[in-house]
Structure 1
Amino acid sequence: MAVLTGGLTACGDDSEPQESTTTASPIDRSTDSPSSSESSSSSGSETSSGDGSGDDAELPDDLPPEARKNTKEGAAAFGEYYLLTYGDAAKTGDVQDLQSLAAKDCSVCSKAEQGIQDDKAKGWTRDKNPYTINKSSATKRPDAGYKVRMDVSVAKHHRIDSDGDVNADIDATKYTVTEHVVWVDGHWQMMDWIVT
C-alpha cells in the first residue's frame, strides 16, 4: 500500500500499454530541488478522445504550454503538473487548481481533494511542496489516453497547524506514480492514478 503525503492511498488501473514510451522534461516549480529527465521529441498532434464528461472549469494560468498539447509529451507534462499541483494544494490548503485538472468521475482525485480540505478544516497544511519528479514518461493506452509514469522523490517535510507549529513529521521517500490522462474537450484531464 502506498500513501501520498495527504494521507490518501491511491488506486487505479495500472494495465500495461501496447505502445512504446516517450519521455518529457519534468516541470520543476520549486527553487530548492531541480529535477532532471531524459527527453525525446515527437511531432504532430494525436487525436485521442476521452470518455470523461469534460470539465468546463478554467485551467490554471501557470499550466505550461507543453501540458496544453495533445501529444505524448503533452500528456507527460500534464501528469507532472497534476502531481506538483497536488503538492501545492497540500501546502496551501486550496484545491481549486487541482479540481480543474481532474475528470468529474475521478474518484481518487476527489478523495485526494477531500483529504486536503479535511486537513485545512483542522488548520493543517504542509510546510512545503515536497515533490520532485526525477523521470517521467507517457505511453499510449490501449483504451483511451495515456499512461503517465513518474519516478518521484518526496522530501522530508512537516505538517503544520494554523500557527505554523509542526504537528507531524513526514519522512523522505521515493515511489512511482502512474496516472491515466485523457484528452477531453481540448485539454487533458486526470482520470485515475496509483502510487506504487
Structure 2
Amino acid sequence: MVLALTSCGDDPEPQVADPTATPTSSPSPSESAAAEKEPWEEKTDDGAVAFVEHWLSTFNEMQSTGETVAFRELATTECETCANFVSLADETYSGGGRIQSDGWRLKSASPTSLDVPDGHQLALSVRQMPQKVFETATAEPESFPGGTVTFLATVVWTNDGWRMDSWEFPG
C-alpha cells in the first residue's frame, strides 16, 4: 500500500520556521535570588556565627508566637537546652499563656579552643531583653529583668546545613 501526501493551495513548499533560531533567556531576578544563599547557609566560620544570629531570631519568633517547628529544625537531637526551650513554649502557649519580650540579641561571638568535628564552639555574649511569661491566659506574669549573659554554643554542619548541637552556660 502506498500513501500519497498532497497539499492544497498555490504554494508547493511548506512554510517552516527556521530551526537554527534559538530563543535566549536569562534567569529572572527571582531565580537569581533563589540561587543565592543566606550567610548562615554557608559552611564557613562566618556562616557559623551568622547561623547563631539566625537561631536567635528563630528563637525570638518561637517565644513570641508559640510556633516551634522552625526552631526545632535548627537543632540536633543532642541539644537538650533547645528541647527545653521548645517544651517551655509548648506548655505556655498550649495553656493559653504567652511570652512577651523584645527577644535576645547577639552582642559578640568568638571561637573557643575546643575542637568540634564539622563544627565550632562559640563563646557568646547575648543581650536578653526583659521578659514576662504568662503561664495561662489569666495568670499574673512572671517577670525577668534581662541583661547580658554568656553562653557556649556548639554548632555543627550537617547535610541540611548548620544545626545547634548545644547551648549552655559556661561552667
Asked if 2 retains the 8 angstrom alpha-carbon contact of 1:158 and 1:166, the reply is no
Q: Secondary structure at the match of 2:167?
A: strand
Moved more, 140-149 or 186-195: 140-149
Q: Following the alignment from structure 2 to structure 1, what is the Cα–Cα distance between the partners of residues 65 and 138? A: 12
Q: Which residue of 2 aligns with 1:40?
A: none
Q: Work out whether 1:189 is the aligned partner of 2:163.
A: yes
Amino acid in the other structure paired with 2:133: R
Tell me the alpha carbon deviations over residues 128-187 of structure 1, each in whole angstroms, 9 at most, x when there is no partner: 342122112345742311012221111223224675986222212211121111111040
- Determine which structure has more spread, i.e. the larger CA radius of gyration: 2
Q: Paired residue for 2:141, among 167, 170, 184?
A: 167
Report how far residue 65 of structure 1 moved: 0.8
Pair 1:74–1:119, CA change in 2 (3 A): same
Count of residue pairs brought into register by the alignment: 134
Q: Following the alignment from structure 1 to structure 2, what is the Cα–Cα distance between the partners of residues 129 and 87? A: 8
Moved more, 93-102 or 140-149: 140-149
Q: Secondary structure at the match of 2:101?
A: coil
Q: Secondary structure at the match of 1:83?
A: helix
Q: Following the alignment from structure 2 to structure 1, what is the Cα–Cα distance between the partners of residues 138 and 43? A: 41
Q: Work out whether 1:147 is the aligned partner of 2:121.
A: yes
Stretches of 4+ aligned residues off by more than 4 angstroms: 161-166
Higher RCO (CA < 8 A, seq sep 6+): 1
TM-score (norm. length: structure 1): 0.60
Mapping for residues 19-34 of structure 1, pairs under 5 Å: none
Tell me the alpha carbon deviations over residues 7-51 of structure 1, each in whole angstroms, 9 at most, x when there is no partner: xxxxxxxxxxxxxxxxxxxxxxxxxxxxxxxxxxxxxxxxxxxxx
Pair 1:78–1:140, CA change in 2 (3 A): farther
Question: What RMSD, in angstroms, separates the aligned Cα atoms of the two structures?
Answer: 2.5
Q: Which residue of 2 aligns with 1:50?
A: none
Q: Following the alignment from structure 1 to structure 2, what is the Cα–Cα distance between the partners of residues 69 and 140? A: 21
Q: Which residue of 1 aligns with 2:78?
A: 105
Report how far residue 123 of structure 1 moved: 1.7
Pair 1:173–1:157, CA change in 2 (3 A): same
Q: Paired residue for 1:133, among 98, 101, 106?
A: 106
Question: Which sections of structure 1, spanning at least 5 residues, go unmatched?
Answer: 1-60
Q: Secondary structure at the match of 2:121?
A: strand
Asked if 1 retains the 8 angstrom alpha-carbon contact of 2:68 and 2:86, the reply is yes
Pair 1:162–1:111, CA change in 2 (3 A): closer
Amino acid in the other structure paired with 2:61: D
Q: Work out whether 1:79 is the aligned partner of 2:52.
A: yes
Asked if 2 retains the 8 angstrom alpha-carbon contact of 1:103 and 1:191, the reply is yes
The structure in which a higher percent of residues are helix is 2
Amino acid in the other structure paired with 1:135: S
Asked if 2 retains the 8 angstrom alpha-carbon contact of 1:182 and 1:189, the reply is yes
